Amino acid sequence: MSMFIRQRWIDPRLKHTKVDGKKFIELDTTVMDAVWIPDLYILNEKKASHHDVTVPNKLMHIYPDGLVVYSVRVTGTFSCSMLLHKYPLDTQKCSFVMESYGYSVDTLLLRWNKVPVERSPILSLPQFELGEIKSYTCDKEYAGGIYIFCVLYRISLYS
């Protein structure tokens, strides 16, 4: 799957006055590493990579109130357990699961937009139809504390 992972957060340390009347500051990819970024990872990722042709495919905008908008293009292979005992007369549900790697809910809260996934109307799979997409948010307790555990979406696949 190829996708854009888009995040936004408020970092009060980045508040500033407008520069030349522009709505936001666009950062070059060479300075983005100096800005804090949430440490999301994809739980069911088997293999993934960022796109770097011809430059790293990421952007960062910083608004005067400290709002940071960050986007990165990712392609990966993700695991999906399927129960195929009724195949082809069944429905499969695949999840794409994200969570914070090191920050507990005391530091980082994840919330989805009202429309958490936008998909291309021409997207198709050879042997399946894409069904409904639902998003979930829940907390998961590990030894070090409570972390946000998010199923970004659950896709129904119909054969």
pLDDT of residue 26: 95
Mean pLDDT estimate for the chain: 83
Single out the residue in 79, 103, 136 at which a domain terminates: 79
Give the CA distances from residue 86 to residues 64, 82, 95, 126, 132, in Å, rounded to whole numbers and listed in that order. 55, 11, 20, 19, 20
118-147 pLDDT, tens digit per residue, is 878 887 777 777 777 777 777 777 766 666
Threshold 0.75, pTM exceeds: yes
Domain residue limits at 144: 80-159
| Same domain, yes or no: 29 and 98 | no
* 66 and 122 share one domain: no
Residues 57 and 90 in one domain: no
Q: Are residues 157 and 103 in the same domain?
A: yes
Please report, rounded to a whole number, the percentage of residues in the chain having pLDDT higher than 90.
37
Q: Domain count for the chain, please give it.
A: 2
C-alpha triplet 106, 111, 116: angle, nearest 5°: 160
Domain CATH code at residue 153: 2.70.170.10
pLDDT tens by residue, 29-39: 999 999 999 98
Tell whether the model's pLDDT for residue 152 goes beyond 80.
no
Could you say which of 79, 109, 131 is where a domain stops? Answer: 79
Q: Which of 79, 111, 137 is the last residue of a domain?
A: 79
